[in-house]
Structure formats: C-alpha cells, structure tokens
Amino acid sequence: MEKVVLGLSGGVDSAVSAALLKERGFEVFGVFLDIGLGGSADASAVAGMLGIGFEVLGISEELEERVCMPFSRAYLNGRTPNPCIMCNPKVKFPALIAYADKIGAKYVATGHYAKAETDSATGRALLLKNPSPNDQSYMLCMLPQHILMRTVFPLGDMEKSAVRERASGLGIPVAQKPDSMEICFIPDKNYAAYIEKRFDAPPEGNFVDPEGVILGRHKGIHNYTVGQRRGLGVACGQRLFVSAIRPEKNEVVLTPDGDGTSEIYVKDINWIAFEPDKTFKASVKVRHSRVEYGAAVEPASGNARVFFDRPVRRPAPGQTAVFYIGDMVVGGGEIE
C-alpha cells in the first residue's frame, strides 16, 4: 500500500482529503503543522475517526525565520507580501516532504483546491486550476518541480459545497466548521499591531500627491498597502487610493481613483509548465482574487515584464503575479 503524508489542519478540506485518499487505496498519515498556537484537537479527532496515522510537527522556528520576519520587514519597506505564498514552498511543503522521507512515503497531499499532473511530453509537473470559484492555484505558484512531482491534491475537481456534503455524509466532525480566512500567525487580522510588537512602530508622516503636495497625515507606512482605498481619512473632494509608498521619505502617495497601469515588472519567477524564451500571451492574476487580465509576458533571465491589454488597478509591490494559459499555471513571481 502506497504511503501518503497529508497536511491535516483540522478543517473540512483536509478531512475530506484524508477520506478520499483512503478510498483511493493510500495508507494515510495525517500531520498537523503546529506554528506555536496549538489547535490540533480537531485534526486529531478527524484522524481518530478515519483511522489514519497522526503526528503533530512543530514548525514555529522555520515559520519565524522564513515567513514571519521577512513579511514584517517587507511591510516596513512599503511592500505587501503574501505570507501563504511564501510559506508553501519554504515551510509547509518542505515539512511534509521531510516527514514523508522519514517514514518512506512517496507522496504528500493537502486540501488545496488545485490539480497536479505530469506532462507526458516533457515529464514536467504541472499545476492546474480547480474548476470551481474556490481555486487556490494562485497560492501554490511558487512550488518547485521536485515538490509538485510528489504532491497530490485530492480535491482537484471538487467544489466547496460538494466537499461539505461529502463530509456530512461521512460523519466527519468538522463538516460545518467555518473556513479560516485569516493569516494563520495573525489570527486577529491586525497586521499593523503584529508588526509593532516586533519592531519599533514607523512614525507618522505625510500623505502626498504624485508631485509631492501634502494632502494630510498618515499613521505610519505599515498601516497602508498600494491599492488601498478605505481608511485613509483624507477629504479632498474626490476618491483617492494609495498608489505608492515611499519609505525613504516616510510618504504615502495618493492618486485619484481610476488611475491604473499598463505594465509591471515581475522578479524571481518560478516557471512551472515551461521556461519561456520569448514573449507569450497569458491571463495574469496580480492579487488573490478571481480576476485575470489579458497580457503579453516578456521573459528575461528569471524575471519578466508584463504588458496588459488594457490598464489594470495598480498592484502592490511584493504581491504575486501568476501567469495562466487556460487552466495551466505557467509560473509566478514577485511584483516590483
């Protein structure tokens, strides 16, 4: 019987994934990745109910070094990283792979809504969208080939309602447990307070327009992200949004709503489907949403310049751009 190590969070998605893997004939070992906040009880209950192996692995030190600290420093430098995209290739999946190697398991699995396949022509691992609105391929775009080759996504073609229905039918105790929407290490969603506990809070400064004219006072650059419209507290007769953050001047630049960009630069790209040597057409996501934009992607030495078919709302530096051709993830990288 083939062994598989499953990231078992205690939520409905990973619980149903465990049941599906058992049905497919795998010997399943559930692993709860403990970030230092506890919370393994639901995962343990699911493992006991399904009769699968269960282990709690501490990953708090790796998370601090490779995700939490870089996340905080990026915010202080006016950038807006996505910590889940950082965590998957640097902490979460490596921890599962290491445990799989320890027990002699060939595969690892998670409850993500995505698909992993092998291209029969090239031998490369492919990352594909889940066809439902719950697709999470965006969050997995930085997984390297050696991890994708060993990864199974049991919910690849399922949608959320079907997963909950399956969980209820199986009597899984977390069938109606609400989805977790926050960053795991900032459960109250207060990024600014989290950063202030770790570093000296950046001082107040000026809101300015693109020419440097002062429009008001901000509460510290770590409270803002590019693209933000709400909570600015500046009244000037028109709707404004954050178009840039200048940490060297402690300024937050505000621009009238509707200003967009036709071009972005993306660095440190993880090419998945193929490594392009010429410009190609793609649909591009520039934030975690369902919206994709048509564009031409011009690769250059692991980076790329993206030319949109029409202007898009300016994305935040530090966020991730992901390139798709149909349902296939070509690659993704960090927006400059």
Which residues are known catalytic residues? 87, 184
The three-state (H, E, C) secondary structure of 171-239, written as one string: CCCCCCCCCCCCCCCCCCCCHHHHHHHHCCCCCCEEEECCCCCEEEEECCHHHCCCCCCCCCCCCCCCC
Q: Is residue 77 helix, strand or coil?
A: coil
What is the dihedral angle through the alpha carbons of 120, 126, 131, 134, rounded to the nearest 10 degrees?
160
Residue identified by tokens 């510290």 is 220
107 Cβ neighbours under 8 A, 6+ residues apart: 2, 3, 4, 5, 26, 100, 150, 151, 152
Distance between CA 91 and CA 82 in Å, rounded?
14
- How many residues are recorded in the chain? 336
The pair of structure tokens assigned to 94 is 């490596």
| Beta bridge pairs of residue 152 | 109
